[in-house]
Amino acid sequence: MAYTAEAFQNEFLALGATEVNAIVTVTSSGAEGGRRTAGATEIIIVDCSGSMQAEGRMIAARQAAKAAVNCIDDGVRFAIVAGVSTAQQLFPAPGQLAVATPETRAQAVHAIDRLQANGGTAMGAWLKLAHQLFAQRPGDIQHAILLTDGENGEYKGYLESVLQEIGGSFTCDCRGVGTNWTVSELRKIATAMLGTVDIVARPQDLAAAFEQMMTAAMGKTSADVQLKVWTPVNSTIRFVKQVEPQMVDLTGKRIEDGPRAGRYPLGSWGSESRDYHVCVDVTAGAAGDEMLAARVSVVEGDVVHAQSLVRAVWTDDSALSARINRQVAHYTGQAELAEVIQAGIEARKAGDDRTATLKFGRAAQLAHQSGNKATEELLSTVVEIEDAETGTVRLRRRIEAADEMALDTRSTKTVRVGRGQ
Amino acid sequence: MTVSLECAACADERAAGAAFCESCGRTLATGSPAGAGPQCQACGPAGAVDADGYCGTCGMLAARPRDHAEADSSPVAAAVTDRGLRHHRNEDAMWLAVRGADADAVVCDGVSASYDPDVASAVAAEAAGKVLAAGGDDLAGRIAEAITAAGAAVAELARTDPRRAASNPACTIVAACVRGTEVGYGWVGDSRAYWVPEQGEARQLTEDDSWATHAIALGVDPQSAWNDPKAHAITAWLGADAGPVRPRTDTLRPGEAGILVLCSDGLWNYLTEPAELASTVRAAVREAPDLISAARSLVTFANDAGGADNITVVLVPIHT
Ligand SMILES: [Zn+2]
Ligand SMILES: [Zn+2]
């Protein structure tokens, strides 16, 4: 698998400056011929709580699960979990994983017809069962889809303790159908499990969403890629974030790895490209000093796939140090965009329309300036954008719950800027 | 680019006095780095320098070969280039080739505001140097050809990398070839050539392509022109964004003994008047045991004065 890592930064710092920023673009051309270097296991978790009966959700969920099963490549292991007050394995026999063949897929599709909406919601238990099943296949690319329509019914703190225990051990993409689920809850799961979260407002769109997730999962060819970051003595890492295709703060996921280095999990990879923002505080140097502020490597186990250097050069030439790197500025703006949208949603829920208007105004401005059209469109379902340039907006009097949830879940989606300096 | 005694590429014996390999045409290695070693200069025994040149403990860059390099072809010519004290790398480059009493010399100064200026200057010095070695009898024409080739080589850099394309690598150039008592020279930008006779008035042979020179020519008071923040902004350079390169060239037949000096602004910034420069050069040559020591002491002079820029100086004595 061929990876490249390239750093974009203004390495020149004014005398006394200590903050070093760089965007590192990691690109993988994927495995040769698209073949996986590891095996793969897929688990589909379908919420079967009583509420799924409403609005034809259960029927749509069955169709979606079938569509996903039909996207699983031959040879991939898979299982289907029915989510009720406990976790029940629907297919194959409890504790087993099926090997995908035309026959097992047909059997699974048949089994899915037995899914009935008549239980509770116990996401912690569902994830735990998935974890146990995945444990049979160490080294596999492990991916789960979790579908729910409501809030978790487990006692307070249980889900968190499960995530603490299993966080990062497999990838879990979370989807909420309808509008009775909580964005923050699913985001918590997706963040811990390095997956995505999104709303599927209309049940009839579920099948397409499942197909898309499963197809993306089948495109992953390596299981557990990590970003290793070395920094010099007396330096502190302010943050390591994935900034494209969506914002994910990886700072807290650091695992120490030898002197002055740590690893950050990047999950599974196919043929794709992602951007990371690394921010390090170092000790200031003298004019003309050049320091390696971070050595950023893409690693898989002991194999170093690619490496990129983040440098700091102190200069008294303010024309050099005042230069703003477009990549760094752009993603700093995208991070603020996600923050102000979430702050705006919080404020509106708390009845503080003034703060909400201010936050959404700033968001409209940032989305517009950075060319993030998708986010600008989502914003316009919540506020009337009078002047995006100045951030002048008015809260809409009637806001559809689905629109606000879509804005919330997709606030972390980012766009790229043209490359060059 | 500088030269040493033996060609590492083909191990052929070089002709007496030649400073590049006449057999394979390659320049003979770069100068030896000053103070580079496996141990970090910044944190001492605690820090070992990694393969990529940075200390594994404090991250500081160990010395690069280009930080300080020398080309010693005494008594025919000598050249020294140095990072100075305030810049993180040496973006000046030089070329010196001698054959018998003949010498070709080039000094280039990378434009810091461009991308990879150190690459621009190295590429330009080498491209010009190779043309100088091969050219015909018309010295001014040969210089023009060398500078044009250097310009093309630097412009080509912008086509190889998107970041270079976005911020064109650029540099200045001053080149000279000495054949007996005749000197051909030419330049683009603000790197300079001087004629320093043993006695009498020294002459700046080049006229900077710079804002200050331009302003003074238009009647601005020299002192206020040089104090302007734009003073050193160059008005001509080599690079993809430079437009057609129009080197200014001339020849000189001194008729008296003296020294041809080529240098970057890292030296002449501290010696803005030709008379000051001349007396400093004469003192250096008088006090030093040989030509390379004299060139080295001029670099030390600039560093003692602040070392605000990279410093390059080439000395070519001319006898009558
Ligand atoms: Zn050190
Ligand atoms: Zn200079």
**ipTM of the complex, rounded to two decimals:** 0.80
Domain B65-318: what homologous superfamily?
A: PPM-type phosphatase domain (3.60.40.10)
Residue A189 near residue A173 (C-beta atoms within 8 A): no
pLDDT tens by residue, A370-411? 999 999 999 999 999 999 999 999 999 899 999 999 999 999
Distance CA B92, CA B172 (A): 9
Q: A232 and B165 in contact by Cβ < 8 A? A: no
Spell out the domain ranges in chain A.
Answer: 11-34+231-323, 40-218, 327-410
Q: A231 and B59 in contact by Cβ < 8 A? A: yes
Q: Which residues pair with A40 in a beta bridge?
A: A141
Q: Is pLDDT of A33 > 70?
A: no
Residues of A in contact with B57 (CB under 8 A): 232-233, 260
Least confident of B28-42, B99-113, B137-151, B285-299: B28-42
Q: How far is the CA of B82 from the centre of ligand 2 (A)?
A: 11
Q: Is pLDDT of B11 > 80?
A: no
Residues of A in contact with B84 (CB under 8 A): 288
Q: Is pLDDT of B22 > 50?
A: no
Q: Is pLDDT of B21 > 60?
A: no
Residue A126 near residue A163 (C-beta atoms within 8 A): no
Q: pLDDT-derived band of residue B135, with 50, 70 and 90 as boundaries?
A: low
Q: How far is the CA of B310 from the centre of ligand 2 (A)?
A: 5
Helix then strand count (H, E) for chain B reads 8, 15
Q: How far is the CA of A282 from the centre of ligand 2 (A)?
A: 29
Q: Is pLDDT of A243 > 90?
A: yes
Q: How far is the CA of A327 from the centre of ligand 2 (A)?
A: 29
- Give a three-class secondary structure readout of B181-241: CEEEEEEECCCEEEEEECCCCCEECCCCCEHHHHHHHCCCCHHHHHHCCCCCCECCCEECC
Q: How far is the CA of A281 from the centre of ligand 1 (A)?
A: 17
Q: How far is the CA of B121 from the centre of ligand 2 (A)?
A: 11
Average pLDDT rounded to a whole number, residues A162-174: 94
Architecture of A40-218 per CATH? 3-Layer(aba) Sandwich (3.40)
Q: What is the SS3 assignment for B101?
A: coil
B233 at A interface, C-beta within 8 A: no
B232 at A interface, C-beta within 8 A: no
Q: A293 and B59 in contact by Cβ < 8 A? A: yes
Half-sphere exposure (Cβ direction) of A196: Cα atoms closer than 13 Å: 19
Please give the span between the terminal C-alpha atoms of chain B, in angstroms, as a whole number: 29
pLDDT tens by residue, A332-356? 999 999 999 999 999 999 999 999 9
Q: B88 and A288 in contact by Cβ < 8 A? A: yes
Q: pLDDT-derived band of residue A314, with 50, 70 and 90 as boundaries?
A: very high
Distance CA A251, CA A240 (A): 5
Q: Where would I find the H helices in A350-400? A: 353-370, 373-379
Average pLDDT rounded to a whole number, residues B236-246: 91
Residues of A in contact with B61 (CB under 8 A): 289-292
Q: How far is the CA of B77 from the centre of ligand 2 (A)?
A: 22
Q: pLDDT-derived band of residue A225, with 50, 70 and 90 as boundaries?
A: very high
Residue A233 near residue A260 (C-beta atoms within 8 A): yes
Identify from A10, A296, A421 which residue to disrupt to test chain B contact, counting B C-beta atoms within 10 A and taking the largest count.
A421
Q: pLDDT-derived band of residue A32, with 50, 70 and 90 as boundaries?
A: low
pTM across the whole model: 0.85
- pLDDT higher for A251 or B10? A251
Q: Is pLDDT of B103 > 90?
A: yes
Q: B83 and A288 in contact by Cβ < 8 A? A: yes
- pLDDT higher for B286 or B30? B286
Q: B86 and A316 in contact by Cβ < 8 A? A: yes
Residue A129 near residue A135 (C-beta atoms within 8 A): no
Distance CA A391, CA B123 (A): 49
- Confidence (pLDDT) at B243: 87
- The tokens describing A328, both together, are 């760094």
Ligand closest to Cα of B61 equals 1
Query: What is the secondary structure of A98-167 as a DSSP string?
Result: EEP-HHHHHHHHHHHTT----B---HHHHHHHHHHHHTTSTTSEEEEEEEESS---SPTTHHHHHHHHHT
Q: How far is CA A106 from the centre of its chain?
A: 31
- Confidence (pLDDT) at B229: 86
Contacts with A239 (C-beta within 8 Å, 6 or more apart), sequence order = A249, A251, A277, A278, A279
- Confidence (pLDDT) at B115: 86
- pLDDT higher for B42 or B191? B191
Q: A291 and B54 in contact by Cβ < 8 A? A: yes
Average pLDDT rounded to a whole number, residues B220-248: 90
Spell out the domain ranges in chain B.
Answer: 1-63, 65-318
Q: How far is the CA of B129 from the centre of ligand 2 (A)?
A: 20
Distance CA A139, CA A135 (A): 9
Q: Is pLDDT of B145 > 90?
A: yes
**In degrees, to the nearest 5, what angle opens at C-alpha A171 toward C-alphas A181 and A42?**
95
Identify from B52, B61, B66, B168 which residue to disrupt to test chain A contact, counting A C-beta atoms within 10 A and taking the largest count.
B61
- Specify the CATH class of A11-34+231-323 in words: mainly beta
* Closest C-alpha among A170, A171, A126 to residue A148: A126
* Closest C-alpha among A294, A167, A287 to residue A227: A294
Q: How far is CA A174 from CA A65, A128, A197, in A?
A: 14, 15, 5
Q: How far is CA B13 from CA A208, B3, B105, in A?
A: 74, 14, 22
Distance CA B108, CA B267 (A): 13
A→B contacts (Cβ < 8 Å), by residue, are: 231-235, 260, 282, 285, 287-293, 295, 309, 313-317, 319-320, 419-421
Exposure class string for B154-185: b at 16+ Cβ within 10 A, else e: bbebbeeeeebbebbbbbbbbbbbbbeeebbb
Q: B54 and A313 in contact by Cβ < 8 A? A: no
Q: B163 and A421 in contact by Cβ < 8 A? A: yes
Least confident of A64-73, A155-164, B52-61, B71-80: B52-61
Q: What is the CA radius of gyration of chain A?
A: 23
CATH topology of domain A327-410: Four Helix Bundle (Hemerythrin (Met), subunit A) (1.20.120)
Q: Is pLDDT of B69 > 70?
A: yes
Q: Is pLDDT of A180 > 70?
A: yes
Closest approach of B61 to chain A, Cα-based (Å): 6
- Confidence (pLDDT) at B36: 41
Average pLDDT rounded to a whole number, residues A182-199: 94
Q: B57 and A282 in contact by Cβ < 8 A? A: no
Ligand closest to Cα of A289 equals 1
Mean pLDDT of chain B: 86
Q: Is pLDDT of B31 > 60?
A: no
pLDDT tens by residue, B182-196? 999 999 999 999 999
Q: How far is CA B307 from CA A177, A349, B34, in A?
A: 67, 61, 16
- Confidence (pLDDT) at B4: 36
Task: Count CB pairs under 8 A between chains A and B.
Answer: 66
Q: Is pLDDT of A137 > 90?
A: yes
Q: A288 and B85 in contact by Cβ < 8 A? A: yes
- Confidence (pLDDT) at B137: 80
